[in-house]
Amino acid sequence: MTSLHPRAFKVTVVWTLGLLFLGSIVHATESSLACPDWPTCFGSMVPEMTGGVFWEHLHRLVAGGLVMMFSLATWLARKETSGRPWIFRASLAGVLLLLVQSVFGGLTVIYQLPDLVSTTHLSLAFTFLALATVLATASHGSTGPDGPPPIAGFGAGEGRRLTALAGASAVLVFVQSVLGALVRHTDGGMSCPDIPLCLGQVVPPLVNIQITSHVLHRFMAVVATVAVLMLYRWALRAEVPTHVRRAAAGAVALVLVQVGLGIASVLSILAVPPVSLHTLVAAALLSLLVGLATFGQRTAVAIEHPELVDAR
């Protein structure tokens, strides 16, 4: 019988990416307070879907759907992963994380978009995306006690190396995304109106949180780009599966698109399309890197300790 929880986890990942994209549109269109109350909107669960209310309430509805979708995935994992209890435990942690995320979403409205709360709200969303990606990757293609089938030329050492490189890149992308959230929610998107310099300097006077966060965001973009390029360079030279090499190339492509969207966001004075896509591409890049890191770890464990694959 085919397990359903891997599919449910994959749907959750795609759903989360869509929710992040919607959330970015909400902020870019200045619709965050279009519904002044929470969890209702003007006292109703079915408000008139016009103007900013459309984007804000749609975002809430999709968020509610995500909670239900992931709860279903968690229930399926409990039924279908008796040999790997960690998947169910991680799923429960994900449900808790979603509930906390929902509370922070409510607080952003109730307290009218405080910078720290809003930044935490987006950071938790990226954290949940990473967790959902781990679960989707770890549960994909399981073949029971023997784990995934071996891949010629891809040993435990390569798996560990892939985990290290992709994991480090994912951490850097996550940090850069959190800094991006801080830039967004402190209204620092145009604090550096020129590119590649900032106020005509490589490092301008860091006199406020807007300029400081913007400069750090750009700096981390360079560091994360170098890390992804190192991952791709290793994937070209190492004995890795074709899909790993293609995924590494995809990460490079996403980085290049992300840089272009960042530049377009500034040059267009924060137009809605590039700003919203900037968040989506960052989330997609994070998910791809986390997936690669998880695949490397899972493969290494399957080769070194096949008897532990289903006990982890």
| pLDDT tens, position by position, 63-103 | 999 999 999 999 998 877 666 788 999 999 999 999 999 99
User: What was the pLDDT predicted at 136?
Assistant: 95
pLDDT confidence band for 307 (50 / 70 / 90): low
Q: Which residues pair with 201 in a beta bridge?
A: 198
116: alpha, beta or left? (left if phi > 0; alpha if psi -120 to 50): alpha
Locate the domains of the chain by residue range: 1-142, 148-312
pTM of the predicted model as reported, rounded to 2 decimal places = 0.92
Q: Which residues pair with 41 in a beta bridge?
A: 44
CB burial of 49-74 (b: ≥16 within 10 Å; e: otherwise) equals: eeeebbbbbebbebbeebeebbeebb
Place of tokens 């809430």: 60
**Dist. CA 159–CA 164, nearest whole Å:** 9
Estimate to the nearest angstrom the gap between the alpha carbon of 187 and the chain centroid. 22
- Average of pLDDT values for 278-305? 91
User: What was the pLDDT predicted at 2?
Assistant: 58
Six-digit token string for 223: 């560091």
